[in-house]
Chains A and B, each alone.
Chain A
């Protein structure tokens, strides 16, 4: 523990430079703007900034990306409260009580609650990163190929189960993502799978162009098809959070913070699930249930705390297992790999100080979020009024450049567009897109570990089921699949009720 505290102190000391604080300020502000604008998501913001920062020093680049991530998840609540349209999907839950508060003339109070809840949520989550990541990292050191195979499969299954209402379509999307990840040269024999002689396809489908397409281009198309949005309030009351709002609901804040962190740490779920789960738990425990959905301060606080606690939570599996807890965390993982930071089980051995540096980065981003959340309410109102007809083409151009910038391949722009169209069609058919992208992220992990496991045992699959951790992961994965079948779920609920 003392060693951990020393590393944490060193991390804060190393980040206390003018350049770092400047980066924290502009990146968090940019994140808030990105999150506030419907059509720009946290994933897209982090993906675009990954391409812009990849020539920077690793620490500076990761700091900027974390600030964008933290800021964007928070910024989404602005449009949720003022437009009744969540700026990011994570803020969908905030519309339930934020918008009714704004409609009755308490938009400022709603944004104050959102700011304080979000700030405290990220603090709770960050504390959990500092406490849990080293322990989980050491546990992960004992994992072998069999366990990593199940972790990849579990990520797909859990993302499919919880990400869109229809688990079956979620699984299909996840396996489509896993399949797409196999396109291009594999590592054992350098054989180009499904390349059809095309050198670009032989290079494989890169994560970032696919991500920018599925989350950026598809979103541009969705926004252009949808109805125009109008803010409910052009002016707001005071945004300074009331101490009574915070102290009265401290239990809700703590509970939502822990739930948000836990949901974040599960592979592939993300901030929206965290917000909804925190909201549901707060409602169940609340003495003022009837206010929920009609402008409940507690409801808004729980949603904001849950979604913001999820951000650090989603970084825990990135650092310990190289498995993302959310879509923006998937991009963060890719960015860490691009910068040679090698997140995963070996991080605790090779660069334990980096874990504490991420903790310090999260705290700085959280502080900047608090300051901007309280100071920049009115300028954000003006930004929300930018017409989509002018914003979306600029976003599309940035998507193109973002997809192109890392590898300077025009092919990546085409991949982006194709994934944008695929993502759009899948959403229309009510297939969740997140498992598709998670499949693309986890495909390599699954591919390598399945083959490595089979090679080690000369084709004997029993270790995949008999090693203790493998057996547990297998049981959880199969249990999740079974419980997604309505008949099985109903039967299990009846058994539990007896």
Chain B
């Protein structure tokens, strides 16, 4: 289970300052989580055992996360996080062809599907719209001008086929009522 992604080698390891900022965010999260755990009722007034209080376990986890984030922060400082340049640059060979724009587009389309389309339009239509727009948008820059219309048609066909087949299989075969 080491590196779960086959494609995660495209970004460099974070600089020490990034680790310091991450540690600060984690510490804030741990403090908020601990405060939440502390505020939970203990139910002792109803005769409950104090050692079954709901806040004990999340409080324990929050304390450990807080301590570990302090260690992460201290390590980042030792590695030069407070230097003007934010620490030494990581030893890293740039991977050609990686694109943040593609990443942002894929993430945005996913958010639109889950938070915008599902539940508002029938699932087959949501899936078709998502798959068609995903395929068309990503293939557009790769397609020669003369073949673009054909690619758009293929994208629409793939979208409709996905929406139809997924809905058919899940609703008719696996009896799942899709949103």
Min CB–CB distance B13 → chain A (angstroms): 5
- B134/A392 in contact, CB under 8 A: yes
Is A62 at the interface (CB under 8 A from chain B)? no
- Report the tally of A-B residue pairs with Cβ distances under 8 A: 243
Instruction: Tell me whether A269 and B1 are in contact in the complex, defined as CB-CB below 8 angstroms, given that A38-B7, A225-B98, A417-B114 are known contacts.
Output: yes
Interface residues of A in 210-233 (CB under 8 A from B): 214-215, 217-228
Is A394 at the interface (CB under 8 A from chain B)? yes
Output the nearest chain B residue to A430 by Cβ-Cβ distance.
B13
Instruction: Tell me whether A272 and B54 are in contact in the complex, defined as CB-CB below 8 angstroms, given that A217-B110, A410-B119 are known contacts.
Output: no
- B166/A397 in contact, CB under 8 A: yes
Min CB–CB distance B124 → chain A (angstroms): 10
- A427/B14 in contact, CB under 8 A: no
Q: Which residues in B have their C-beta under 8 angstroms from that of A416?
A: 114
- A219/B7 in contact, CB under 8 A: yes
Q: Which residues in A have their C-beta under 8 angstroms from that of B111?
A: 417
Q: Which residues in A have their C-beta under 8 angstroms from that of B58?
A: 179, 182, 193-194
Is B24 at the interface (CB under 8 A from chain A)? no
- Does more than half of chain A's interface fall in helix, strand or loop, or is it mixed? helix
- B138/A389 in contact, CB under 8 A: yes
Q: Which residues in A have their C-beta under 8 angstroms from that of B72?
A: 168-169, 172
- B131/A394 in contact, CB under 8 A: yes
Output the nearest chain B residue to A438 by Cβ-Cβ distance.
B1
- A189/B52 in contact, CB under 8 A: yes
- Among the interface residues A397, A404, A454, which one has the most CB atoms of the partner chain B within 10 A? A397
- A401/B1 in contact, CB under 8 A: no
CA distance A414 to B58 in the complex (A): 23
Output the nearest chain A residue to B52 by Cβ-Cβ distance.
A188
Min CB–CB distance B166 → chain A (angstroms): 6
Encode contact with B along A17-29: 1 for CB under 8 Å, 0 otherwise.
0000000000000
- A175/B68 in contact, CB under 8 A: yes
Q: Which residues in B have their C-beta under 8 angstroms from that of A89?
A: 1-6
Interface residues of B in 34-73 (CB under 8 A from A): 36-37, 40-41, 43, 48-52, 54-58, 60-62, 64-65, 68-69, 71-72
Q: Which residues in A have their C-beta under 8 angstroms from that of B130?
A: 393, 396-397
Q: Which residues in B have their C-beta under 8 angstroms from that of A223?
A: 6-7
- A393/B7 in contact, CB under 8 A: no
Interface residues of B in 129-143 (CB under 8 A from A): 130-131, 134-135, 138-139, 142
Output the nearest chain B residue to A421 by Cβ-Cβ distance.
B107
Instruction: Tell me whether A397 and B131 are in contact in the complex, defined as CB-CB below 8 angstroms, given that A168-B72, A226-B95, A454-B51 are known contacts.
Output: yes
Is B125 at the interface (CB under 8 A from chain A)? no
Min CB–CB distance A431 → chain B (angstroms): 8
- B134/A393 in contact, CB under 8 A: yes
Instruction: Tell me whether A194 and B36 are in contact in the complex, defined as CB-CB below 8 angstroms, given that A186-B54, A392-B134 are known contacts.
Output: yes
- B51/A458 in contact, CB under 8 A: yes
CA distance A276 to B98 in the complex (A): 27
- A272/B5 in contact, CB under 8 A: no
Q: Tell which of A175, A193, A224 touches B102, judged by Cβ atoms closer than 8 Å.
A: A224
Instruction: Tell me whether A225 and B4 are in contact in the complex, defined as CB-CB below 8 angstroms, given that A168-B72, A179-B61, A421-B107 are known contacts.
Output: no
Encode contact with A along B97-116: 1 for CB under 8 Å, 0 otherwise.
11110110111011101110
Interface residues of A in 410-440 (CB under 8 A from B): 410, 413-414, 416-417, 420-421, 423-424, 427-430, 432-435, 438
Min CB–CB distance B112 → chain A (angstroms): 11
- Number of B residues contacting the other chain (C-beta, 8 Å)? 81
- A228/B68 in contact, CB under 8 A: no
Is A164 at the interface (CB under 8 A from chain B)? yes
Assign chain A's interface to a size class.
Answer: 35 or more
- A414/B115 in contact, CB under 8 A: yes
Q: Tell which of A176, A226, A404 touches B98, judged by Cβ atoms closer than 8 Å.
A: A226
Is A447 at the interface (CB under 8 A from chain B)? yes
- A433/B4 in contact, CB under 8 A: yes
Q: Tell which of A273, A387, A404 touches B2, judged by Cβ atoms closer than 8 Å.
A: A273
Encode contact with A along B5-45: 1 for CB under 8 Å, 0 otherwise.
11110110110001100100010000001001100110100
Is A52 at the interface (CB under 8 A from chain B)? yes
Q: Which residues in A have their C-beta under 8 angstroms from that of B75?
A: 168
- B127/A397 in contact, CB under 8 A: yes
Output the nearest chain A residue to B175 by Cβ-Cβ distance.
A55
Is A270 at the interface (CB under 8 A from chain B)? yes
Q: Tell which of B5, B54, B114, B118 touches A191, judged by Cβ atoms closer than 8 Å.
A: B54
Q: B residues within 8 Å of A by Cβ? A: 1-8, 10-11, 13-14, 18-19, 22, 26, 33, 36-37, 40-41, 43, 48-52, 54-58, 60-62, 64-65, 68-69, 71-72, 75, 95-100, 102-103, 105-107, 109-111, 113-115, 118-119, 123, 127, 130-131, 134-135, 138-139, 142, 158-159, 162, 166, 170, 174-179
Q: A residues within 8 Å of B by Cβ? A: 38-39, 41, 43, 51-52, 55, 79, 85-89, 92, 159, 162-165, 168-169, 171-172, 175-176, 178-179, 182, 186, 188-189, 191, 193-194, 214-215, 217-228, 268-270, 272-273, 276, 326-327, 387, 389-390, 392-394, 396-398, 400-401, 404-405, 408, 410, 413-414, 416-417, 420-421, 423-424, 427-430, 432-435, 438, 446-447, 450-451, 454-455, 458-459
3 closest cross-chain pairs (CB), A and B? A227-B97, A434-B1, A393-B134
